[in-house]
Chain A
Amino acid sequence: GNSVTQMEGPVTLSEEAFLTINCTYTATGYPSLFWYVQYPGEGLQLLLKATKADDKGSNKGFEATYRKETTSFHLEKGSVQVSDSAVYFCALSRVLNNTDKLIFGTGTRLQVFP
């Protein structure tokens, strides 16, 4: 079936540390891949996306590369800030039963301390 697996959190870092949040997926064909971010008490915001193999999505210093050979879409940031503290969701999108559907991972909480 189609699924997304994320590393469990929380991930705890000091400000300016390097961030990696692992995400791997299982899907047939060529899904699109997304990272969403959720700040406390809010809805999800799109962080970045990639729609085909070897594409790199980037936004606000975050990056992720669509790796078909390893079925991965790991999120990275070179220097995190306290304001990056949030829950990050990896998701894949593909057509299932003639409908576009998003399939989410369970989310990874990031805590950044000064």
Chain B
Amino acid sequence: DGGITQSPKYLFRKEGQNVTLSCEQNLNHDAMYWYRQDPGQGLRLIYYSQIVNDFQKGDIAEGYSVSREKKESFPLTVTSAQKNPTAFYLCASKTSGGYTDTQYFGPGTRLTVL
């Protein structure tokens, strides 16, 4: 089955620690995205990548980093510089056909800072 997987589903972190969230897709999509969701709010874009070895900052990139070494994978690192990292993180992907194409989402990772 084609789809997007995110792991782990739940993640706990102590303050001052970096953590990396995994996102893998087997849809052969070129573009991948990371969003953050806070209670009662819409999704906010953290980083996106339109092609391997290239990525751009979204609206709230401070305190986060990414890499795109493989087409299938787009891991997100939440660094200790992120002041309020507790949130639900969603990864998405789409073809590079244009803005009419659909973004497909993974099941999400819930990060809690203790």
Chain A binding site: helix, strand, loop or mixed by DSSP?
strand
Interchain CB contact under 8 A, A99 and B103: no
Residues of B close to A104: CB separation below 8 A: 42-43
Given A49-B102, A93-B99, A100-B98: A43 in contact with B107 (beta carbons within 8 A): yes
Interface string of B88-105 (1 = CB under 8 A from A): 001010100011111111
Given A43-B106, A46-B104: A106 in contact with B99 (beta carbons within 8 A): no
Whether A73 sits at the interface, judged by CB under 8 Å, is no
Q: State which size class the interface on A falls in.
A: 20 to 34
Given A43-B90, A89-B42, A105-B42: A100 in contact with B99 (beta carbons within 8 A): yes
Residues of B close to A31: CB separation below 8 A: 99
Pairs of residues from A and B, 8 with the lowest C-beta to C-beta distance, nearest first = A104-B42, A43-B105, A100-B99, A44-B105, A51-B100, A93-B99, A43-B107, A32-B100
